[in-house]
Amino acid sequence: MFGVLFEQTADGQRYIDWLLSGLGWTLALAFFGWWIAFGIGVVVGVGRTVQNRFFSVPARLYVEIFRNIPVLVQMFLWYFVFPEVVPSALGDAIKQIPPPWASFFPALLCLGLYTASRIAEQVRAGIEALPRGQIEAANALGLNGYLTYRYVIVPQALRLIVPSLTSEVMGIYKNTSVALTIGLMELTAQARQISEATFQTFTAFGAATIIYLCLALVAYQAMTLIDKAVRIPGSAPVKPGTDEDLATEMRQGGAVPNAMEVVK
């Protein structure tokens, strides 16, 4: 079924080379977009929790704007509208960027800022999930607000939200497919091109689906390992056990004297 991918194209390549080229753009877009999103998301998420309205109000506006506008609309705004609203010299410079970078950079900016708004809300939830005593203890040690967030609050919050960040890592890989609408030949765009050239739609998009699935599984496994490495001790879910298991653990730990054991 996938034999058509190894056939020669008109330019002397193979169709599978088109898919691999698209995979490269997908990985680059997702990788760099993720780090942009993570850096901005942490800053905005912290801003959502501070008492100073100078920081909290812009942070809330950022989240409400970028999270509630569809990513496809944002992609068009960055590609078609942004060069027209900036000063003419800058706009002309943007329009003269050669392809495929003319499509890559707007897509990178779009995905980074959109995903950052989602990460910011998760960072805010992680900070608000911490006990209030953490801040009070930091204040008692003489730490100011900046040091409290840097050394006490944010490190713990980030460790708490690693499982929820897994969905964002997997989501940014899938959202890269929107970049085909502005001409970036990423994985989905290459699959469509193969479909149009060979009329083997099932084969082209079937191969792309398998690649996306493998990317998601790799991202999920990597985030699982990170979660286990940084998990806060004592925060792992407790598995329910039987009364016999509980009694055995207590006897092994010396918590129950022999005289208090239940006589069967």
Residue-level length of the chain: 264
* Residue reference for tokens 């069967």: 264
Q: How much of the chain, in percent, has pLDDT values that exceed 90? A: 67
> Which residue from 77, 25, 12 is spatially nearest to 185, judged by alpha carbons?
25
Q: Which CATH architecture has domain 12-260?
A: Orthogonal Bundle (1.10)
Nearest 5 degrees, angle CA 39-CA 124-CA 70?
A: 70
Q: For residue 26, how many C-alpha atoms fall within 13 Å in the half-sphere facing its CB?
A: 28
Q: What are 83-116's pLDDT values in tens digits?
A: 999 999 999 999 999 999 999 999 999 999 999 9
pTM over 0.75: yes
**Mean of the pLDDT values across residues 27-33?**
96
Q: What are 202-233's pLDDT values in tens digits?
A: 999 999 999 999 999 999 999 999 999 988 77
Alpha carbons 144 and 210: distance in angstroms, whole number: 50
Strand partners, 14: 8
Torsion of CA 238, 243, 247, 253, to 10 degrees: 0
Calculate the alpha carbon distances from 230 to 96, 107, 128 in Å: 45, 31, 19
